[in-house]
Amino acid sequence: MKLKTVVSGDMALAFLGEDIPAIGPRFSNKEAAVQVARQYLETISELSDEGRNTAFQIVLNRQADGLFSLVIDGAGQVVGKLNNLDELLVKRLRRGLNRKLFILTCFVDSVEGQECLVLTEGLGAVFYAPNTLMR
């Protein structure tokens, strides 16, 4: 089954299962993508292992060039930052957040399209995002 993915520069967005958005950077090299996805998971794990409930804040910021960045912050530490999201990708992501869930993962360019590492390698973090902020 081919995954339908929206690509915007170096970012990709796909909808999995019951329309849960998966978003993240895209790579041409799978090893680099796996390394970044593992880095996201390690940072999240470190924040969660500190014995407290860690609330994550998801903020969409408008960049000076008119594009957007998505910042995931937990306990004052940036877990992930996705830059250069165009307005169409942001609109699709916001529309997909109706279940208030999204997955942070990485994508790899392949001959069949985009390979989503949450599906092929199990590398991705699920976030509950009840109050995504747009600045």
Predicted confidence (pLDDT) per residue in 60-69, tens digit: 889 999 999 8
Choice between 37 and 48, residue whose per-residue pLDDT is larger: 37
Choice between 119 and 17, residue whose per-residue pLDDT is larger: 119
Judge residue 57's burial from the number of C-beta atoms within 10 Å of its C-beta, 0-12 exposed, 13-18 middle, 19 or more buried: middle
Residue 80 in domain: yes
What total number of domains does the chain contain?
Answer: 1
Confidence of residue 120 (pLDDT cuts 50, 70, 90): very high
Residue 124 in domain: yes
Residue 22 in domain: no
Residue 121 in domain: yes
1-37 tens-digit pLDDT: 467 888 888 889 898 887 888 999 999 999 999 999 9
- pLDDT at 132 exceeding the cut of 80: no
In the chain, % of residues over pLDDT 70? 89
**Alpha carbons 131 and 100: distance in angstroms, whole number:** 8
Residue 75 in domain: yes
Choice between 58 and 130, residue whose per-residue pLDDT is larger: 58
Average pLDDT over every residue of 122-127: 89
Residue 14 in domain: no
Confidence of residue 53 (pLDDT cuts 50, 70, 90): low
State residue 130's pLDDT score.
65
Both tokens of residue 78? 């940036």
Residue 42 in domain: yes
Residue 63, domain extent: 30-49+56-99+106-134
State residue 52's pLDDT score.
56
Residue 65 in domain: yes
User: In terms of Cα–Cα distance, which of 13, 63, 64, 42 is closest to 123?
Assistant: 42
- pLDDT at 81 exceeding the cut of 90: no
